[in-house]
Structure 1
Amino acid sequence: MSNKSSMKTEKIGLLEKISYGGGDLASNIILVLASTYVSFFYTDALGLNPAIIGSIIMFSRFADGFTDVLMGYLIDKTKSKHGKCRPWILWLSIPIATAMVLIFMVPNIGGAGKYVYVAITYNLVVTFLYTMINIPYGTMTSLLSRDQHERMSINVVRMTMAQIGSLIINSLTLPFVNAAGGSGNQKSWIIVSVVYSIVAAFSFIACFVNTKERVTVAQEKQEKLSFGKSLSVCVQNKYWLMLVAVFLFFIFASTFNGAVGTYYAKYIIGDENVMGYLMSIMTLPAIVFIPVLAPLTKKIGKRNAAWIGSFVSLAGQALMLLNPASFSWLIVCNVIKGIGNATLNGTIFAMVADTIEYGHWKSGIRVEGMLYSSMTFGAKFASGIGNSIALSVLGKAGYDGLAAVQTESALEAIRAFYLYVPMAFMVAICVIYALYKLDGMYPRIIKELTEKGE
């Protein structure tokens, strides 16, 4: 094996960690706006059919899977003075911000024309541009440092910034839209998208400027890897497969909550504006709790922390059933969920970075780009399918965004996706974490890789 690695052991400074985390803040601004609020904009501002919108989103997510994996392969082949991942963040920062605004600038060109425009612009952002910037961004975690605790520290800052991005979107979007003219006014959404896109672009650029890739692996063998061989290396990594399943199930649970959350607030609680408060109150505990994860995981391990967090999140979801139409009770439940979700979000990507080392140790081949991109494919697939399923079921249940009163079947569908379905996925996550054993093996893996000069 001719793979050799070089890595400076310099400690990563706070500015670099915050700048790297700013990339996730930007990613979350784009992702949450595109996954949580765009469908509401399409149905309630433009009056488009939710079933058709759901089909467009489903197609996008299938296509997204191919672009994710292809992007990971391209990262593993990228060679530049800026590294493997950072150049992509620079190149895509302005295009994705511009395209995000275009999503909301749907022209008045008739029903069929609107659907065509939606399909083109939604896919441009989600299937192509978001993939081309977010896959390199996520892969960078394994290239900033090889130290397990330093990676956890990086990930803590990253997840804190991500939660801040979610907090901004979920707490300000609908009030901002309503202040600009109302959720039924297209111009209001355009104004909001412009502001958010500017913030995202500057955050991405700061991420590029203030970060540095330190982990490098000689490419003699890597360059000869075929696409199929790279995928084969991924599927032989059992701990990575476990984390793919965890992330997929977590995204399914979160997507169903988010996809119908605004509808739930509007029709079950009786006020669409409380959606922002419900999501924000779930984010605030995360911002407070995530910073303590680094010392916590150092003491009990990342897997144990994540396992406990999954049970906490499940408890918060289950408690909603006691008083599902009470805004105040849902606030309490979402605080509990927020703590559990913070643990899951705060550990998952640091754990993925560990599986990259495990795969390198097991196979002698390092394919961080493919490992990360294939994982995010599962997450995006879950997000897209979840949104599509929820919107399709709402459409078949008789939901009409322009109607003052919804059918009982539509209301039951909203309740099911917000309350019951996410619980099943959280149970599955608890089971998977019970089988995850990599934490105890990691020091030996790194020791052996270092001794072999890999």
Structure 2
Amino acid sequence: MSSNGTVTVEKSNGKLPWNERLSYGASDFACSFTFSLIGTYLMYFYTDVFGITAGAVGTLMLVARVIDALDGPFWGIMIDHTHTKWGRSRPYFLWFNAPFTIFTILCFTTPDLPMNLKIVWAYVTYIGIDVLYSAVNIPLTSILPSMTTDPNERVLLSTIRSLFSNFGGTLISVIALPLVTLFGGTDNPRRGFFWVAVMAAAVFFIIYLVVFANLREHVQTRQSQQALPIRTSLKALRNNWPWVIVVGLNFIYWLGMQTKGQVTIYFFKYNLDKPELASLALFFNAVGLISVFLTPKIVMKIGKKKTILSGLALSILGQLVLGLGAQLLNVPLVIIGTIIGNFGNGFVGALIAVLLADSVDYGEWKNGVRAEGIVTSASSFTAKFGMGIGGAITGMLLSLGHYAPNKSQSASALFSIEANYVWVPLVALVISFILILFYRLTPEKELEMTRYIDAKHARENLEDSIE
């Protein structure tokens, strides 16, 4: 490091030590372990445990998305304005660890209130956790282009992150209901969900302290050494077509995944009359670990675009098999479709963050502005926005189908559950496939960008060290 604070661009040609790689992965284990509890079970918790109507829950999730329209870009701009001894993104792992932990617990706390105050409580706690999730998750994506410029190292980091994320989300999805019964018994799911939330929050808090301690921002430029004005940050988005495609993919893909995930327990409880199989179906999310593990090798052979397209094609096939199983009420077909779909989803999840990191480089190469915060904030923002709209769609369809909790469901209610579990996700996957067809950032162009950016950073650091 020079006297004026300029640091070298990379260490070991962009290769990072394993403690950083594993800490980066552990960060998304923590996020998925907590937020998958919310994404998978909170709607069921609201309707069947806390006693809020499906329509009110759907409205809540729609309102939360309006908030997201502001808080996602807000955190991106804040990151670009942050300049500390720890870097731009890393401080957020420390600053918002405890607040997110507390709100995770509050989401599953059930004070004895009248219905209107229950809804108020749900609004405050759900919107609170939603905003705070952006504060702890957006920096995970924004820090990636600051950790290394090596394309293969980025794929490896994103693969490790996806492996940990998939494992964390699968683990909490599988163990949540048994733990609810363990902590609360068969007659007190309120207490059970509360202590599961306490456990998940404690896991998050400890892991994020480790993440903050271990991660570093190695890629330092003139712009990263100072706060970027908003107008300058936004220049990174001008004609940034890779970013536009990835933002669209992130939104529509997670919309479909959310509508499916949050009605899993409904589908097995009411449509198939086999609630005991819900945890098994969620366990098969772990199939995605195999495809995530294979992602780096496949990317080396066929490239990122073809890898994602292959994953989406498998996901579409799995959803079609799942739909056939739902129509025939055939459990083996449902499980087979789930396995095929999850295998395909692993490729998609492993590469979305990599494509966003590449769009940071594209913004610097095209417009001369490196704005990790505003560019990558789209990751959490659009994913959450898609998940929220998915939640609103679920609530609306359940309400239109006259869903009644803990009762035998009408034909219209069963169809609304099936639509959320099968057909809405299928449409989202097809649209995602079409979007990626328009992705034009080739490996040759990536190599050109990387060489240009590395040379630019080295030249700037040399000039600053002379000064």
Q: TM-score range by the shorter chain?
A: over 0.9
Aligned residues: 447
Contact kept, 8 Å, 2:54 with 2:395, in 1: the verdict is yes
Deviations 1:118-158 (A, max 9, x none): 1111111112x111111112211111111000011111110
Match of 1:163?
166
Contact kept, 8 Å, 2:25 with 2:165, in 1: the verdict is yes
Q: Distance in 1 between matches of 2:235 and 2:143?
A: 22
- State whether structure 2 residue 230 is matched by structure 1 residue 230: no
Q: Distance in 1 between matches of 2:123 and 2:335?
A: 35
- State whether structure 2 residue 131 is matched by structure 1 residue 132: no
Q: Distance in 1 between matches of 2:256 and 2:158?
A: 22
**Partner SS state of residue 323, structure 1:** helix
Q: Distance in 1 between matches of 2:135 and 2:128?
A: 11
> Cα gap change, 1:224/1:426 in structure 2, threshold over 3 Å: closer, same or farther?
closer
- TM-score in terms of structure 1 length: 0.94
Q: Distance in 1 between matches of 2:8 and 2:248?
A: 32
Of the structure 1 ranges 152-161 and 101-110, higher mean CA displacement relative to structure 2 is found in: 101-110
Amino acid at match of 1:298: M
Shift of 1:6: 4.1
Shift of 1:273: 3.1
- State whether structure 2 residue 145 is matched by structure 1 residue 142: yes
Q: Distance in 2 between matches of 1:197 and 1:46?
A: 20
**Partner SS state of residue 275, structure 2:** coil
Shift of 1:446: 1.4
- State whether structure 2 residue 426 is matched by structure 1 residue 430: no
- State whether structure 2 residue 396 is matched by structure 1 residue 400: no
Question: Which aligned pairs between 1:267-286 and structure 2 lie closer than 5 A?
Answer: 267-281=270-284, 283-286=285-288
Q: Distance in 2 between matches of 1:8 and 1:220?
A: 14
- State whether structure 2 residue 319 is matched by structure 1 residue 310: no
Shift of 1:429: 1.6
- After TM superposition, the runs of 4+ consecutive aligned structure 1 residues lying more than 4 A away are none
Contact kept, 8 Å, 1:289 with 1:342, in 2: the verdict is yes
Of the structure 1 ranges 146-155 and 423-432, higher mean CA displacement relative to structure 2 is found in: 423-432
Deviations 1:258-292 (A, max 9, x none): 122211111011122322211211x2222223122
Deviations 1:374-426 (A, max 9, x none): 23222111111110111122123211114x21121111111111111211111
Question: Which aligned pairs between 1:53-452 and structure 2 lie closer than 5 A?
Answer: 53-127=57-131, 129-180=132-183, 181-182=185-186, 185-219=189-223, 223=227, 225-227=229-231, 229-281=232-284, 283-324=285-326, 325-402=329-406, 404-440=407-443, 441-452=445-456
What's the RMSD between the two structures over aligned residues? 1.8
Q: Distance in 2 between matches of 1:421 and 1:242?
A: 20
Q: Distance in 2 between matches of 1:235 and 1:273?
A: 51
Structure 1 unmatched ranges of 5 or more:
none
Shift of 1:434: 1.8
Shift of 1:38: 0.8
Q: Distance in 2 between matches of 1:46 and 1:184?
A: 11
Q: Distance in 2 between matches of 1:215 and 1:347?
A: 21
> Cα gap change, 1:261/1:353 in structure 2, threshold over 3 Å: closer, same or farther?
same
Residue in structure 2 matching 1:33, options 37, 56, 62: 37
Shift of 1:86: 1.1
Amino acid at match of 1:391: G
> Cα gap change, 1:44/1:263 in structure 2, threshold over 3 Å: closer, same or farther?
same
> Cα gap change, 1:192/1:183 in structure 2, threshold over 3 Å: closer, same or farther?
farther
**Partner SS state of residue 146, structure 1:** coil
Amino acid at match of 1:219: Q
Q: Distance in 2 between matches of 1:156 and 1:406?
A: 41
Using the aligned pairs only, state the percent identity: 27
Shift of 1:322: 2.4
Amino acid at match of 1:378: T
Shift of 1:114: 0.9
Contact kept, 8 Å, 2:55 with 2:395, in 1: the verdict is yes
**Partner SS state of residue 30, structure 2:** helix
Shift of 1:250: 1.0
Shift of 1:247: 1.3
**Partner SS state of residue 263, structure 2:** helix
Q: Distance in 1 between matches of 2:431 and 2:7?
A: 37
> Cα gap change, 1:224/1:118 in structure 2, threshold over 3 Å: closer, same or farther?
closer
Match of 2:22?
18
**Partner SS state of residue 405, structure 2:** coil
Shift of 1:80: 1.0
Q: Distance in 2 between matches of 1:308 and 1:289?
A: 11
Q: Distance in 1 between matches of 2:81 and 2:187?
A: 44
**Partner SS state of residue 94, structure 2:** helix
Deviations 1:322-357 (A, max 9, x none): 222222222211111111000001111111111110
Amino acid at match of 2:319: Q
Shift of 1:359: 1.1
Contact kept, 8 Å, 1:156 with 1:293, in 2: the verdict is yes
Q: Distance in 1 between matches of 2:35 and 2:81?
A: 26
**Partner SS state of residue 236, structure 2:** helix
